[in-house]
Amino acid sequence: MRRTLLYAASAAVLSLGVSHAFAQSGSVEKAVGGYNFAEAAKEAPGTKDFHSADGHLTFAIVTHTAGNGFFDPVYVGATVAGNMIGAKILLLGSESPVDDPAREIEILNQIAQDPTIDGIIMTTPQIGAYNDIVKAAEAAGIPIATTNSFDGTILHRNNISHTGQDASAAAIGGEALANCVLASGATSGSILLPSSTAMGNVEVNNRVTAAFNAIVKTLKDAGKLDAFKVDAGPENVGIDTNPNDPVNALVSLFESRGDAVGAFTANNVFTPPLVKAVAQMGRTGKFCAFGFDLGPAQQEGIAAGNLTGSLGQQPFLQGFWPVMQLYLQIDRGIAAANLDTRAQLVTKETVANVGKRFEN
């Protein structure tokens, strides 16, 4: 009996080994068209001499605000991608800590005339302001990719890839804010969405609208909409708030209403000030405050309880993918491929996991 069992076990082991060997026999060594995959995977001979003809690719990434830290992981992502393909990446942008499309456009106009540039990556927060840049780049034979903010009207939009978060993702923050207010035990009060349309960032306006709609829907579904006043301004794109003195402006707004139980801010201009405003009012851990982006100020605010949660855009991807897209366009002729970086809601329970690899 023992010998029979040993034989059966040996046969089973042999059978497993044979099955494993046969599994490898299905490997594909060449294309149906006859070419070799290893050869086809090599970079095209002329790729490194595209446009500038200097033996290497040089891509410039230009943002509308390099002064507040949001785009730091974007620059990291672009650098990582550049290292992978052996490209030089110029990290450029407005020095301002607030949105500054005018300065970005000034830089882009210079870059479009630079003979050493092989590709341009740019943010497009100001609708309709980038067509001349596109024309100049196309005339010079330089491909473009856009990232972060989206301009649906840009010249030849369908030929230009875009990497970024759709504004509708702000609904995740709006829903979380409404649920926070309901869970707090508040039976009435104002939920406020301050912002500033003066900066001309349509993407931010759309975020406010998406968050507003989600707050209203969540309260309505809970049968509590009539108990609260949800205010995002007359056109639901934000209560006009001074971006040049945002902390005091937010404190004044909240105190003037007298019954504010929660707030949502849609960008990095107002979210760090929201953190300070909640602390200044002495409402740490007692106010449902949700914002945007996951820079140091947001992370510290969440950990301290002055910010309940914040939405990240996974900005590492907003630097990494445009570089790879331009490379694929040059080396492979691959048409513009968009990437939605989605939204990441971070709260006190998850904030420790953010930013460990500069990818917040």
Largest CA distance in the chain: 89
In this predicted structure, what is the pLDDT of residue 7? 41
* CATH number reported for the structural domain that contains residue 334 in this entry: 3.40.50.2300
In this predicted structure, what is the pLDDT of residue 360? 57
In this predicted structure, what is the pLDDT of residue 336? 84
- pTM, entire model: 0.74
Task: For residues 133 and 217, state if they share a domain.
Answer: no
Task: For residues 246 and 213, state if they share a domain.
Answer: yes
Measure the N-to-C terminal CA separation of the chain; round to a whole number of Å. Answer: 63
Mean pLDDT of 20-25: 54
Residue 348 lies in a domain: no
pLDDT band at 1 (very low <50, low <70, confident <90, very high): very low
Look up the domain containing 150 and give its range.
Answer: 58-165+315-341
Residue 300 lies in a domain: yes
Task: For residues 209 and 74, state if they share a domain.
Answer: no
pLDDT band at 157 (very low <50, low <70, confident <90, very high): very high
The amino acid at 218:
T
Closest CA to 62 of 146, 140, 139: 146
Task: For residues 118 and 241, state if they share a domain.
Answer: no
Mean pLDDT of 198-217: 90
Q: 115 phi and psi, to 5 degrees?
A: -70, -15
Q: 14 phi and psi, to 5 degrees?
A: -60, -40
Q: What percent of the chain has pLDDT over 90?
A: 79
Residue pair 225/214 in contact by the 8 Å Cβ criterion: no
pLDDT band at 23 (very low <50, low <70, confident <90, very high): low
Residue 49 is classified by DSSP as G
Residue 65 lies in a domain: yes
Task: For residues 289 and 319, state if they share a domain.
Answer: no
Residue 178 lies in a domain: yes
44: which residues sit within 8 A by CB, 6+ positions away? Answer: 331, 332
Length of the chain: 360
Residue 294 lies in a domain: yes
Give yes or no for residue 13 having a pLDDT over 50: no
Mean pLDDT of 278-301: 95
Task: For residues 177 and 289, state if they share a domain.
Answer: yes
Give yes or no for residue 209 having a pLDDT over 80: yes
Out of 19-33, 159-173, 258-272, 324-338, least confident range = 19-33
Structure token pair of residue 311: 């939405």
Task: For residues 176 and 268, state if they share a domain.
Answer: yes
Task: For residues 127 and 196, state if they share a domain.
Answer: no
Task: For residues 228 and 323, state if they share a domain.
Answer: no
Give yes or no for residue 289 having a pLDDT over 70: yes
Whole-angstrom Cα Rg for the chain? 26
Give yes or no for residue 138 having a pLDDT over 80: yes
Task: For residues 236 and 121, state if they share a domain.
Answer: no
15: which residues sit within 8 A by CB, 6+ positions away? Answer: none
Residue 52 lies in a domain: no
What domain count does the chain have?
2
Residue 125 lies in a domain: yes
Mean pLDDT of 298-308: 97
Residue 11 lies in a domain: no
Task: For residues 232 and 294, state if they share a domain.
Answer: yes
pLDDT band at 25 (very low <50, low <70, confident <90, very high): low
Structure token pair of residue 166: 């759709």
Task: For residues 262 and 326, state if they share a domain.
Answer: no
Q: What percent of the chain has pLDDT over 70?
A: 92
Closest CA to 108 of 56, 146, 70: 146
